[in-house]
Structures are given as C-alpha cells and as structure tokens.
Amino acid sequence: MNRFKFVLKRIFPDILSILIFLSGTLIIFSNTTKFTMRHIKYIYMILPGDVIVLSHFSSNVIGTFLLILAYAIYRRLDSAYYLSVVSFVLAIFFSFFKGFNYIEALIFSIILLLLIPSKERFYRKSSILKDKLSPTWILLTLSVILLSIFFGLYSFKTVEYKKEVLWHLALNRQYTLFLRNSFVSISIFCVFLAFNFFNTVLSVEKIPSSKVLEDVKKIINLSDNSYSGLAYLSDKSIIFNKSKTSFIMFGNTNSNLISMGDPIGDKKSFQEIIREFYRIGRESGKNIAFYEISKEHLAEYLELGLKIIKIGEEAIVNLSSYDISTPTYKKIRYTFNKFEKLNYTFKVVDSIEGFEDELKLVSNNWLENKKAKEKTFSLGRFDLDYLKNFKLALLFDENNKLIAFSNLMSTHDKNEMAIDLMRYLDSAPSGTMEYLFIKIINWSKENDYKRFSLGMAPLSGIYGGELAPLWNRLSVFLFNHGGNFYNFEGLRQFKDKFAPEWESKYLAYSGHFNLASLLKDIAFLISGGLLGIFSKK
C-alpha cells in the first residue's frame, strides 16, 4: 500500500498533465462545433448575447492555453501550478456563461480540486516562457487544433464563408464564432511557438563577488586544464563543490545549463560536482550539457545517462619530440625561415601594462578587416580586464610596431600551453599568424612545457559510414561541403601543418529530442545572441 502511494505521488503530476491537456482539447472542440440554441436559452435570458459570444472567445483562449500549460505541469514548473489554477477557475465560469454547460464545469471543478492540494509536486523554479516545448508536445497540440478545425469545417460545410465577416458578434452566426476561435487558437499557438524557439534569454550571471573570483583563481592556479582561464570571462556562472576544490563554469539559457568543458580542479571531486550540476538542472526544469569535453571523464557522464556525441578534435603538439629542423615540420619551416629574415621581434610579457593602446588598435583592425563580431563563452574576447589574467605573446615588425598578439593559457605544472585570442593587423605579411604560432611553440618548448594545444578543429575526425548515426553523417557532410558557412576542412589542414596528435572532443547532454535546441543555445552563447549568429557586425 505504501509502495502504491509512493508511485502515485511520483506520477500524479503526469496524470494531472494528461487531464489538463484533455480539458483544453474538450474546450477547443466544444467551441468549434455547432451547438443548439436550446443549450443557451436560459443563460440568454440573463446575459446579453455579446457577453455569451465573448465567453466563447475567452473560453477558447483558455483551452489553447491549457494545451500549453499541460506540458509545463508535466515538467513540474511552479509557475504552471498557479496559472493552471487560475485557468480552471476561469474555464468553470466561461462554461456557464457561454451556454450553461454544467457537465463541462463539473469536470473542470473535479480537476481543480485534484490540482489545488498538489502544489508541493511542482518544485522547479522556472517560467513557462523559458521552458522549451518538446517536439512531441508540439505535434500533439498542433494535431488537436487542426483536428478541431477539420471537425468545424465539416460541421459547417454548407455555409458560404465569404459572405460573413470574421468579427461579427452574433449567436445565430455560429460559423463566425468557429472561424474566430480557430484563428485565435492557431495564432496563440504560433506566437508561443515562435517566442519559445527564438527567445533564448542569456540569463547568465557574472561572477558575483571578489570572494568568488578569489576562490576561482585558487582552483585555476592548481588546474591541469589550459582552458580553465575562460572562467575569467564575465559571461558564465560558477558552481563549486562543497569543499571548493573544483568548479563548473556554465552558461544559462532558457532550457539548458551548458558547462564549458569538463569541471576544473581536483579530479577526485568531479563525480560529486557533475552530479550536483545535474541536480541543479533537474530542479530548475532544464537539461544540462558539457561542451568540448575530453574522453577522460566520459564514464562520469554516462553514469548519469547523458548522451555523448563527438563534435571534433583538438590538435596537440608533443613538445618533447618537436623540432622544427626535422622533416616532420617541413610544412612550417618555410614560413619560419622567411620571417626570421625580416628582423621581427617576438616577446612574451607577463602583463598588458604599457601595451593597452597598441593591443586595442590591432584588435579593432582585425575585427574590421574580418567583418567579425567578438565571440565568447568557448573563446576569449578582447577585454583588457580579461587579458590582464594571462601572459601575452607579442610580435613587432622591424619598426617596433605591434602587428600581432595572442594571450597564452597554461597549466600550473607546465603540462600544457595553449593560445586563446589571436589578432593581427591587416597590413601584416601573409603567414604572420602561422609565424606567431611557431614562435609561441618554440618559446613553450624552451620553457619546459610538455604539450601545446592548437585548439579545436570542429566536426573533424567523425566517422560517417553507412552505419553511422544521423549526427555523424551530417557532421561529415558539413565538414566536406560547408565551406560557404565555415571553412572546417581548411582549419584542419592548417593545423595539420604542425604535425599534431588529434584528441577527440565530445558533447554530453541530457533530454530527449534536445540536440537541435542545445546546439542552437550553444551558438547563442558563443555568438552573444541571435544577431551574433546571423550578422558579423
């Protein structure tokens, strides 16, 4: 018996969700089919005809809204509970006002009585406007609306629609009510769907205090991940494990919490903090994702039931075997020898102090020439407060003019060096970027770093054979034929010049049918919003 009660408590919101969806369906169908005047003759004696017609209209709005609310109830959103209670109270009133439909009112009253005491079951703090509808629910809702229209058209098949006006308020012209109600249902659904898809609010909190930043710095200084410095960007939220030995940096969108990479810090605490991140996602009604993760911790993600897909490969130069004079590196040796004759100066500095104006000039020139917009989240952006946390590699021409720079990310144990933001002047000679890469790699080897990261080659190294899943085949197609959008193959070929070892990178994520929405949200985070995706300036 106790077991039965426990199961019933767990599934009760699901039962309510079904009842609410069926209630919305009942309202919509009752408002799009013919009714006889005897159904409303008693209410017509009390209320004006216009009030009855407006009650039909308002009832249909509530019915459409209930179809959408049912999904939010299924997701256990606290906001859906209050809206559902109000909607059913209104639905009961409109059931009487539109035609003294006491059976409909009785059904809604029973559901309302079931709903009211179940408030504690709706614990997820989120707005229905920020919660993504699932494709299945979208199809169900659309099917109900279209079927109601079909039955309405069949019911009024003998009517000459073109002779009537849609907004005519009259009880004896029921088909105008049907047309109006159908139009309202479709309009509400389409507006909500469009808003739901495009309104990816980047509700990302900045690191809230100097104390948090201090804790982040302590962990970064002991981290063996070169990308951990991305936490200094003011575009992410941070969560720590209980002992503050590790953290996850993440972006927060309408429907996803997206971690940038694996957790940072003490690897022994990774399982703990990954599970905490998953719990936060569940309580907020959102899916979670880990973007650009390594294969080292895949087991932890799989244990939570997350789905894993490969998204590309990272190019790693093994500095212990790196020697530009050997045949392995002949592809970059020509560029190196060419620039060595130009009397250029390369230096690595610990601070941006004294170089701020020159750095800004180079960065602005690069953005203008590339017609590009600053990216963020998985990449650094030009921000002096951000750059002050890193060493900088600077390249000067023979006149001591700064022509290129990059900030350097490294690990405390000198296991890895990586570049982040890289900018150069439009007037710089062809090959400047490649030469700066070479000089940074040489400097890293001279300073006893073990490996050098050239960054990601998106969509590369993915199997696309006959047995491959759809994502793999689409990735391979984009890699081979997506040059008009992004030169995936060209980027891979450029990095191949450095004879790197390629390490797979993955995306781990929760939720059914969530991949398309997730990839869109990641694009929003990196580009800074919808305009950032579709425009460069």
What backbone phi and psi angles, to 5 degrees, belong to 158?
-90, 0
With respect to residue 119, please indicate whether it lies within any of the assigned structural domains.
yes
With respect to residue 221, please indicate whether it lies within any of the assigned structural domains.
yes
256-260 and 287-293 beta bridge pairing: parallel
**CA of residue 134 relative to chain centroid, distance:** 14
Residues 178 and 239 in one domain: no
Residues 6+ apart with CB under 8 A from 214: none
Domain of 522, CATH number, reads: 3.40.630
pLDDT score, position 43? 62
The letter for the amino acid at 186 is I
Residues 173 and 226 in one domain: no
246-252 and 264-265 beta bridge pairing: antiparallel
With respect to residue 441, please indicate whether it lies within any of the assigned structural domains.
yes
Residues 6+ apart with CB under 8 A from 310: 461, 462, 472, 475, 504, 505, 506, 507
The letter for the amino acid at 26 is L
With respect to residue 483, please indicate whether it lies within any of the assigned structural domains.
no
pLDDT score, position 104? 86
User: Whole-angstrom Cα distance, residue 138 to residue 517?
Assistant: 14
Domain boundary among 163, 198, 233: 198
Residues 407 and 259 in one domain: no
With respect to residue 465, please indicate whether it lies within any of the assigned structural domains.
no
Residues 525 and 436 in one domain: no
Domain boundary among 164, 198, 232: 198
DSSP element (H, E) containing 8? helix 2-31
Maximum CA pair distance of the chain? 100
Residues 82 and 160 in one domain: yes
User: Which one-letter DSSP state was computed for residue 295?
Assistant: G
pLDDT, tens digit, 9 for 90 and up, residues 317-364: 999 999 999 999 999 999 999 999 999 999 999 999 999 999 999 999
Residues 238 and 365 in one domain: no
Residues 252 and 299 in one domain: yes
Domain boundary among 198, 231, 256: 198
With respect to residue 487, please indicate whether it lies within any of the assigned structural domains.
no
Query: Could you list the residue range(s) of the whole structural domain that residue 325 is in?
Result: 317-455
pLDDT score, position 90? 92
Residues 123 and 192 in one domain: yes
With respect to residue 166, please indicate whether it lies within any of the assigned structural domains.
yes
The total number of structural domains in the chain stands at 3
Averaged over successive runs of 10 residues, the pLDDT of the chain (537 residues) comes to 57 89 89 59 61 76 91 84 92 79 87 88 72 78 88 68 46 64 85 73 44 84 89 88 91 88 93 89 84 92 89 92 92 93 94 94 92 84 92 95 96 92 94 95 96 84 52 49 52 89 92 76 75 47
pLDDT score, position 423? 94
Residues 388 and 409 in one domain: yes
Residues 13 and 41 in one domain: yes
Residues 186 and 225 in one domain: no
